[in-house]
Structure 1
Amino acid sequence: MSAPAALAVSKLSLPETETPKIKSQKEIKITAGREVNILEAVSVGAADAIKLVAYVVVNLIAFLAFLTLLDSSMSYLGGRVGYPQMSFQIIFSYLFMPLSRVMGVAWEDCHIVGWLIGKKLILNEFLSFADLGQMIKDGGIADRSAVIATYILCGFGSMAAIGINFGSLSSACPSRRGDIATGIIRAFVGGNVACFMTACIAGV
């Protein structure tokens, strides 16, 4: 279900209004490497991989540091009114309660699922899956809600993923860095919408 949902959302968010430059697979031309043997190919590949990993790690650290700054600011402001545990994750847990209900989650589980969505968006989907697994093990969430939540969380759509994707794509094609930066937020939103669509199908 995820592939058609991603295709539909991407076409809606960035419709193709001009005539495609490439109309068939035969028109795709990939330049061959200039390496003379396998040893040189391995060496060049390893050097390119180092640049890719460096881009990903540095961007991930930068985005996580920025998110930590925002959460610390929220905690400070919340402490001024007697609520120091304030964070974006808590705010999102309430914001996504109605959306969780629309996708078919039982109302008594909506706050939990909203909290999982907030953790996915702000931190990482793997951490959300770990919490969901523990909830299922402890019986803290209904089976139907757990299934829907699984589809909601099943996507590479966190704030940290923005840094990872931007770093990896920019290192692969530095000349398109501006285009990638322009569309990365739209891709982040579209990817999560696609996950929500698959969750709606699972709810039905």
Structure 2
Amino acid sequence: MSILIALIGIILLLGTAYLMSNDKKKINFKAVGIMLAFQAVLTALLLGTSGGLKVIDTIASAFNKLLSYASEGVNFVVGGWIPEGGSPFFVNVLLPIIFTSALLSVLTHLKVLPYLIKYIGGFISKITGLPQVESFNAVNSMFFGQSEAILAIKSAINNLDKNRLFVVSTSAMASVSAAIIASYMTMLPAKYVLIAAVLNVFSALIMSSIITPVKATKEDSEIVIDDMIHTKNVFDAIGTGALDGGKVVLVVSAMLMGYLGLLGLLNGIFDSLVGMELTTIVGYIFSPIAFLMGIPADEILRAGSIMGTKLISNEFVAILDFQPYIGEVSEKTLSILSTFLMSFANFSSIGIIAGAVQAINGFKAKEVSSFGLKMLLVATMASILSATLVGLFN
């Protein structure tokens, strides 16, 4: 029954996207069909076969190995601060981001990642018929943060119409950064974190290209690899990456302290005024969506609360809210929520993306701000699609 409900949920989701479309005649149904089929096959192979699970375990082991290398630098700097048996969130989850950011920066400087992303994006563009810029950006967003992904296509931004700019911006919001994935994997099951990162590439393209259809043309902009290179040499790349990672750590830390404190305050206010915490109210609002995603009826209120928390704060706050219940919920709920939480789709991301575009073109930044709420809605719909697909195979 949960599978049937989830299938109905996907149909309703795609139907809603169609109704929201600003140019229904130009929707590339072939591209949508190809990407949906690819998602279904990939999810079935990775989660439904022993070979697929082995692949995921191998990748997860590689990330764990990276974390062990990261811990060498972390322990050297702050090892004496940690009490015996202690496991501070800041040290074990956030500080390793500095190492992974430095590693990504080096791979970018050496043009390993830029060419990999360009060719994968080019392949997606070729089989779907979507423009190269949008395809490249969707893949690029899987590796880099929202601002970095936008800046990597700065030479093309000026030539994008409003629909194409919407697709690019939504892809950036619906993704997660590879620099943070290892940290997520210390908090949630690795297999769902990894598969979400891939599925979100296609879910963002599916949802946004239905709602704001785009079409490849002969004059489609070429991807300029040099737009991704901002360092002079390997040592500059290491330093720049480490500093960028440090900024992410501080930003996430500040946001967590602010959001968790304010969320606690709001919960207290709502509990005093209406006898119900804000997160519980949000849970009731999101419960129908959770049900249509395939989450068991007795768990939809808690799931809805966590989904709503992510939207009004960020994924880290929602994951911390979810962690105490991981051992209590069903595997289906665990898979769906873990996948849903793997994106930057929240209110603060509107400003981040608009700010990145502002650094390139002020007029285009105003366009991003004008469709900011719609972009958040569509990025959230992309997360729902990815999560529902994963739930079908659990």
Structure-1-length-normalised TM-score: 0.67
Change in 2 beyond 3 A, CA 1:200/1:166: same
Corresponding position of 2:222: 28
- The superposition leaves residues 21-70 of structure 1 with CA deviations (integer Å, 9 ceiling, x where unpaired) of x5366x4385x89xxxx59xx8xxx8xx99xx8xxx7xx98xx79xx59x
Distance in 1 (alpha carbons) for counterparts of 2:391 and 2:308: 20
Q: Is 2:339 aligned against 1:151?
A: yes
Q: For residue 201 of structure 1, what is the aligned residue in structure 2?
A: 389
Query: Do residues 104 (structure 1) and 294 (structure 2) align?
Result: yes
Change over 3 Å in CA distance of 1:77–1:156 after alignment to 2: closer
Match of 1:12 in 2: 210
Q: CA 1:86–1:134 in 2, change beyond 3 Å: closer, same or farther? A: closer
Number of corresponding residues = 172
Residue number in structure 1 paired with 2:200: 2
Instruction: Please give the residue correspondences for 1:178-193 in structure 2 after superposition, counting only pairs within 5 Å.
Output: 178-193=366-381
3-state SS, counterpart of residue 96 of structure 1: helix
1:74-89 correspondence to structure 2 within 5 Å: 79-80=272-273, 82-83=274-275, 86-87=277-278, 89=279
Cα displacement (A) at 1:75? 6.5
Q: What amino acid maps onto 2:222 in structure 1?
A: I
Shift in CA distance, 107/177, structure 1 to aligned 2, threshold 3 Å = same
In the alignment, the residues of structure 2 paired with residue 149 and residue 77 of structure 1 have an alpha-carbon distance, to the nearest angstrom, of 25
Task: Report SS of the residue matched to 1:157.
Answer: coil
Matched letter for residue 382 of structure 2: A
Question: Once the two structures are superposed, what CA deviation does each residue of 1:69-90 show, in whole Å capped at 9, x if it has no partner?
Answer: 9x85x9757744x53x543x33
- The percentage of counterpart residues that share the same residue type is 20
Whether contact under 8 Å (1:97, 1:113) holds in the other structure is: yes
Q: Which runs of 5+ in 2 are unaligned?
A: 1-198
Shift of the 24–133 alpha-carbon distance from structure 1 to 2, 3 Å rule, reads farther
Given the superposition, is the C-alpha separation of residues 108 and 15 from structure 1 closer, same or farther in structure 2, using an over 3 Å criterion? same
Match of 2:357 among 163, 166, 169: 169
Structure 1 unaligned spans of 5+: none
1:126 CA displacement: 1.3
State the TM-score, normalized to the length of structure 2.
Answer: 0.37
Matches within 5 A, 1:37-76: 38=232
Cα distance in 2, alignment partners of residues 9 and 150 from structure 1: 20
State whether residues 93 and 114 of structure 1, in contact with CA within 8 Å, keep that contact through their aligned partners in structure 2.
yes
Cα pair 2:310 2:341 within 8 Å, conserved: yes
Could you say if the C-alpha distance between residues 142 and 187 of structure 1 is closer, same or farther in structure 2, counting changes exceeding 3 Å?
A: same
Change over 3 Å in CA distance of 1:135–1:177 after alignment to 2? same
Structure 1 equivalent of residue 309 of structure 2: 119
Question: Aligned partners of 2:270 and 2:317: how far apart in 1?
Answer: 26
Q: Work out the CA distance in 2 between the residues paired with 1:134 and 1:77.
A: 22
CA distance in 2, matches of 1:116, 1:172: 35
